[in-house]
């Protein structure tokens, strides 16, 4: 069985059918691109995988378990993380604080029952995570708001890795980045693959898709219209599927 298996996923909002029986498989350590025009159903599908929306039909299996209809917290515990386009970072806080935001390690205050933030452990573990990822940031004490776009992506990915994910979903991670920053983010995706972490990459940038992905899945009007290995397709063919000219 694949790491992630979607079978016949349906979703409607009132009279509008958004997903019409979507099938999708992702293997462990595989990088799969999800492409499609605006309104194709990409975001809805990802929100169903992460538990934000409940499917109206179909099943979702992850790592051998049926997670259809599970809550976002349960799905995160099983090993699925999503990094949204806005990154959801606290830009006034430093890198270490963002990596452990809401889950900060604590320690007892002088042997009393009172607990306080264990700042040394936060910084130590944040530095270890940044090294593991091979990311480039000036310091874990550096304010996130003063980092470049690519460096902020590094922090968001490092935060996701603290949950020990088996699958990371990335929503347009290179959309607003300069060329050099784009390559940095693509290197981070390659590093996730080396660590056997599967990635679903939502992107309109087909150059990025063909640079790092193993397979490309095209959605059109709520249906999968193409699911092909990168080595057996082309940018022109993918565009044709997206616009309905194939």
Q: pLDDT below 50 — which residues of the chain?
A: none
Q: What pLDDT score was predicted for residue 121?
A: 93
Q: What is the pLDDT of residue 210?
A: 98
Q: What domains are defined for the chain?
A: 1-79+165-246 (3.40.50.300), 86-163 (no CATH)
For the whole model, what pTM was predicted? 0.91
Give residue-wise pLDDT tens across range 70-121: 999 999 999 999 998 888 899 999 999 999 988 888 888 877 888 888 899 9
Which residues, 6 or more positions from 95, have their beta carbon under 8 angstroms from its beta carbon? 126, 130, 137, 139, 140, 141, 142, 144, 147, 155
**Residue 246: what pLDDT?**
73
**pLDDT (0 to 100) of residue 29:** 96
CA atoms within 13 A on the CB side of 176: 9
CA distance 108 to 116: 6
């Amino acid at each position: 069985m694949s790491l992630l298996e979607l079978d016949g996923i349906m979703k409607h909002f009132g009279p509008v059918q958004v997903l019409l029986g979507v099938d999708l498989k992702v293997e462990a350590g595989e990088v799969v691109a999800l492409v499609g025009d605006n309104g194709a159903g990409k975001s809805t599908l990802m929100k169903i995988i992460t538990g934000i929306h409940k499917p109206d039909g179909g099943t979702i299996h992850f790592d051998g378990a049926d997670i259809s209809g599970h809550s976002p917290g349960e799905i995160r515990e099983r090993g699925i993380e999503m990094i949204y386009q806005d990154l959801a970072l606290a830009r006034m806080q430093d890198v270490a604080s963002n990596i452990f935001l809401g889950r900060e390690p604590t320690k007892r205050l002088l042997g009393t029952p009172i607990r306080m933030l264990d700042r040394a452990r936060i910084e130590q573990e944040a530095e270890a995570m940044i090294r593991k990822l091979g990311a480039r940031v000036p310091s874990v004490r550096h304010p996130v708001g003063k980092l470049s776009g690519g460096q902020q992506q590094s922090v968001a990915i490092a935060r996701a890795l603290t949950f020990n994910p088996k699958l990371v979903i990335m929503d347009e991670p290179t959309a607003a980045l300069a060329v050099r920053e784009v390559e940095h983010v693509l290197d981070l995706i390659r590093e996730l693959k080396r660590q056997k972490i599967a990635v679903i990459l939502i992107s309109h940038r087909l150059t990025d898709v063909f640079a790092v992905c193993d397979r490309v899945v095209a959605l059109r009007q709520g249906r999968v219209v193409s699911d092909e290995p990168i080595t057996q397709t082309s940018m022109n063919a993918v565009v044709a599927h997206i616009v309905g000219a194939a």
